[in-house]
């Protein structure tokens, strides 16, 4: 029997931010949203990609000689190495291995559920002591629902706590299926206004909010996570819309509160390595006073609020 595989782009151990206790975080590749502040742009596309650090490249051409699909070339005239737009990387990693300057890294790795379980199981003692487990993130996990369900189910069978980070933009039947094997949803709410949500992410938010309502009303454990950006979704109007949406669930035991995720620039450098322009303009960081104001505003309604500072 052929075992199901997942296309991932990172595995992070000893994570303390994305669910309770010490966790192993598995990043799935591919996302239906294009958030202008995305800190994991290498997780957006569900295919192999090359990260290229121009400042480290010595233009030796070793990668050109080994690449089977012509992703790399020496530019006519200048003789400098460049990535050829539109050429598909097949993930062979020959260029990465040939580059002695460490200027290249291939993003994306196909792993079987058994291979992922083996990695997850390595830290079982930490899960047991801390109340931790495994968290599936991305990208967007729900773009690979079969692999996600298989991995979540296998972890559940082994007594490992399961959490899933999601933007919620998926067919309702996908959310319902994954929910069978998920102990905790970490559910992003990026903006309450649908038109503004579309401007910021490329999709409207009706499906996202509908799925969130279903999870809460069906008594699945949910922690709402709000990426916060100055001048984007930190205003009184946006906060009031969020509060009004969440108030009916305030007394639900399965509503685990709100995480505030302040904007940071840790992923900005990856855009240049992918040959992309960083889409967010201006300074969107929040001050401690801003965060205190927002935390206090939500706290007025007795929501459990946590500011996640990386």
- pLDDT (tens, 9 = 90+) of the chain, 310 residues, equals 568 999 999 999 999 999 999 999 999 999 999 999 999 999 999 999 999 999 999 999 999 999 999 999 999 989 999 999 889 999 999 999 999 999 999 999 999 999 999 999 999 999 999 999 999 999 999 999 999 999 999 999 999 999 999 999 999 999 999 999 999 999 999 999 999 999 999 999 999 999 999 999 999 999 999 999 999 999 999 999 999 999 999 999 999 999 999 999 889 999 999 999 999 988 899 999 999 999 999 999 999 999 987 6
Q: Specify the pairing of strand 255-262 against strand 23-28.
A: unpaired
The rounded distance, in Å, linking the Cα atoms of 58 and 77 is 16
Among 33, 30, 28, CA closest to 5: 28
pTM: 0.95
Q: What is the pLDDT of residue 310?
A: 67
Q: What is the pLDDT of residue 228?
A: 96
Question: What is the DSSP track for 215-232?
Answer: HHHTT--EEEEEEE-TTT
Tokens for 302? 């007795």
Laid out side by side, the sheet with 133-138 consists of 109-112, 5-15, 23-28, 133-138, 161-166, 184-188, 222-228, 255-262, 305-307
Cβ-in-10-Å burial (0-12, 13-18, 19+) of 174 comes to: middle
Q: Tokens 């992309």 appear where?
A: 276
Q: What is the pLDDT of residue 262?
A: 95
| Helix, coil or strand: residue 22 | coil
| Helix, coil or strand: residue 288 | helix
Q: What is the longest distance spanned by two Cα atoms in the chain?
A: 68
The rounded distance, in Å, linking the Cα atoms of 189 and 176 is 18
Q: Specify the pairing of strand 81-83 against strand 133-138.
A: unpaired
The rounded distance, in Å, linking the Cα atoms of 245 and 193 is 12
DSSP state of 299: H
Q: Tokens 């490992």 appear where?
A: 160
For the chain, list the domains and their CATH numbers. 5-45+109-307 (3.20.20.70), 49-105 (3.30.70.20)
Q: Give the contacts of 72 (CB within 8 A, at least 6 positions apart).
A: 50, 63, 64, 81, 82, 83, 84, 95
Compute the C-alpha angle 239/245/247, nearest 5°: 95
| Helix, coil or strand: residue 64 | helix
Q: What is the pLDDT of residue 282?
A: 84
Backbone angles phi, psi at 56, to 5 degrees: -95, -15
The rounded distance, in Å, linking the Cα atoms of 179 and 176 is 5
């Amino acid at each position: 029997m052929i075992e199901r595989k997942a296309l991932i782009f990172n595995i992070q151990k000893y994570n303390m931010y994305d669910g309770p206790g010490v966790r192993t975080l598995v990043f799935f590749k591919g996302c239906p949203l294009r958030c202008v502040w995305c800190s994991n742009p290498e997780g957006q596309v569900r295919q192999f990609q090359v990260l290229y650090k121009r400042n480290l490249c010595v233009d030796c051409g070793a990668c050109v000689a080994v690449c089977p699909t012509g992703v790399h070339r020496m530019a006519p005239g200048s003789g400098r190495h460049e990535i050829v737009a539109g050429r598909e990387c097949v993930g062979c990693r020959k260029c990465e291995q040939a580059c002695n300057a460490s200027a290249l890294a291939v993003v994306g790795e196909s792993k079987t559920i058994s291979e992922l379980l083996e990695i997850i199981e390595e830290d079982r003692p930490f899960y047991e002591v801390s109340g931790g487990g495994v968290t599936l993130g991305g990208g967007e996990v729900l773009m690979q629902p079969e692999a996600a369900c298989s991995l979540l189910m296998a972890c559940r069978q082994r007594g490992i706590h399961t959490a899933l980070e999601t933007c919620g933009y998926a067919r309702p039947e996908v959310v319902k299926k994954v929910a069978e094997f998920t102990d905790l949803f970490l559910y992003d709410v990026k903006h309450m206004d649908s038109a503004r949500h579309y401007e910021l992410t490329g999709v409207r938010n009706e499906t996202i909010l509908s799925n969130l309502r279903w999870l809460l009303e069906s008594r699945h454990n949910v922690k709402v996570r709000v990426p916060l950006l100055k001048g984007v979704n930190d205003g009184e109007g946006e906060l009031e819309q969020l509060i009004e949406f969440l108030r009916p669930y305030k007394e639900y035991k399965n509503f685990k509160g709100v995480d505030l995720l302040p904007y940071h620039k840790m992923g900005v450098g990856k855009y240049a390595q992918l040959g992309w322009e960083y889409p967010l303009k201006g300074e969107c960081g929040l001050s401690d006073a801003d965060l205190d104001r927002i935390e206090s505003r939500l706290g007025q309604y007795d929501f459990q609020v946590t500011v996640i500072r990386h």
